[in-house]
Amino acid sequence: MKLHKFFVPVMFLFPAGAISAQTIYSIGSDCTLDDTEQPVTFRAEYTQRYTQEDNEVTQIVKEMLYEQLLSQPGKFPNGVQVDSLYFTSHPVAASRMNKAVIQGALTVEPVVECRSHHLISSASTLNDRFLAQKSDGIDYQMSLQVLNAPKTVTVPETHISVNRVFGFDLGTSYTEVEQRVGRFSLTWQLAADLRMAAIGRNHVLFFEQDKLIGYQYAKFLFPTAVHNLIEMHPLDFAIDVSGGTVQSPHKAFLNEHQLAQLEESFPLVTTSRVKLSDDEMGIRLEALQVGRLPALPLEWSNTHCYENGSVEQYIQRHQAELVNIVSQQGFRIYMTGCSQIMTMNYFGQIKQLELLEPINVRTARVWQAKTLFGLSPWSLGKLRYNAHAASLGEALETLEEGVVTVKNDAWFGHFFVEHDKVVAGSVMYKR
């Protein structure tokens, strides 16, 4: 069973208001937990249709979890503090309507009292985090959303031709492209003279000796586990061919003449055919290549692995060699060569560490996908991929479907166990 874990943090903070009958304190609030009570986990699930975005569905699941929590006001007389909120996605097989079953789990801990705090007042703010700064004895709350916010991604043009992509001719320097775009959604320094840079989830540029040499478009460039990490940056682009322009090929169906023009002009064009009616077929553009794609050095190997110690120091040492990603929420994410996904907060501190199962690259169309994402197994201190479940130590709680909750002084983690083997995990760090 393959599980794709993803978190949807919401970071807007507002001044705390009056205490309600059901008081919910955010992660990071300065609370004294009630040692006589156990953490409580609420669960909900929702079937996602292909027409629904991930953010829409996770918000629906949040509402379901929030309603469950509010339905038990008498159970927590002093209120609760949010400990964790996570989601898992289980693909639905052989369905034309349904994409996945999204399951959510909200864990809260009863409190005795809270001092500096932020109150949760809606489902959308379940992931709010409190940050207090003291000055002259006065507490202030700050919005983390605006700190170190990444630049906006922009492109000079939205047209693509045989030797020009989004306003950049083949041969344009990486520095010039980066300056005019503002930043990329993903960058990967594959070798001293080779790097790839993505704009959103569907467009990737290749640079060799600092010069733009090629481009790929695909509906699914990256493996699903990586695709979901990258910010969405939809571009309503057009493709220039001899004698005309193909408008919005990522949304509209192509006709036979347009397909012939594309195949004549570009080195690689991939399409699929969709039955629209008994008498009509639609041609859908699946992938497109401009220019040439590079060759990986024969001695190429994946990036450094994290074992233990300070995550922040590890990233400082190896940042240039890691896969650098910007998430939909604006978080900086780093992927190592050992199936580790590190999500940082807006202060450059580790927020979350995901430990992945082997990545399925079957649907990924990006160049060299099988090699690039053939990552080594993960490790975290003494824990390792495929280790016996007993290596997790004493579990705080065992959830359904083999999800084991483990907690220590530094983090709170959910680990996924199959056949008594630890296969994946998601660790949230305490601050």
> Which of 80-84, 163-167, 221-225, 350-354 holds the top average pLDDT?
163-167
Ramachandran angles phi, psi of 191, nearest 5°: -160, 175
Helix, strand or coil, per DSSP, at residue 255: coil
CA dist 130 → 33, 133, 429 (Å): 16, 10, 14
Interval 53-65 mean pLDDT: 85
Residues 6 or more apart from 177 whose CB is under 8 A from it? 168, 197, 205, 207, 212
pLDDT at 428 over 60: yes
Whether 50 shows a pLDDT value over 90: the answer reads: no
pLDDT band at residue 205 under the 50/70/90 scheme: very high
pLDDT digits (tens, 9 = 90+) for 233-265: 888 899 999 878 999 998 889 999 999 999 999
Mean pLDDT across the stretch 59-66? 87
Task: Report the pLDDT averaged over residues 271-300.
Answer: 90
The predicted-structure confidence for 9-49, as pLDDT tens digits, reads as follows 333 333 333 334 578 988 877 788 887 788 888 888 888 88
pLDDT(312) > 80? yes
Least confident of 98-107, 164-173, 357-366: 98-107
pLDDT for 327-338, tens place per residue?
Answer: 887 889 999 999
Name the amino acid, one letter, at 234. Answer: P
Q: List the domain boundaries for the chain.
A: 4-134, 159-185+196-291, 311-429
What is the rounded distance in angstroms from the CA atom of residue 29 to the CA atom of residue 340?
28
Residues 6 or more apart whose CB falls under 8 angstroms from that of 193 comprise 208, 209, 210
C-alpha distance from residue 338 to each of 280, 305, 352, 359 (Å): 47, 5, 16, 11
Contact between residue 422 and residue 383 where contact means Cβ atoms under 8 Å apart? yes
262 in Cβ contact with 288 (< 8 Å): yes
Are 31 and 113 in contact by the 8 Å Cβ rule? The answer is: yes
Is residue 143 predicted with pLDDT exceeding 60?
no
- What is the reported pLDDT for 59? 86
Q: Percentage of the chain with pLDDT > 90? A: 39
Instruction: Reply yes or no on whether the pLDDT at 146 is more than 50.
Output: no
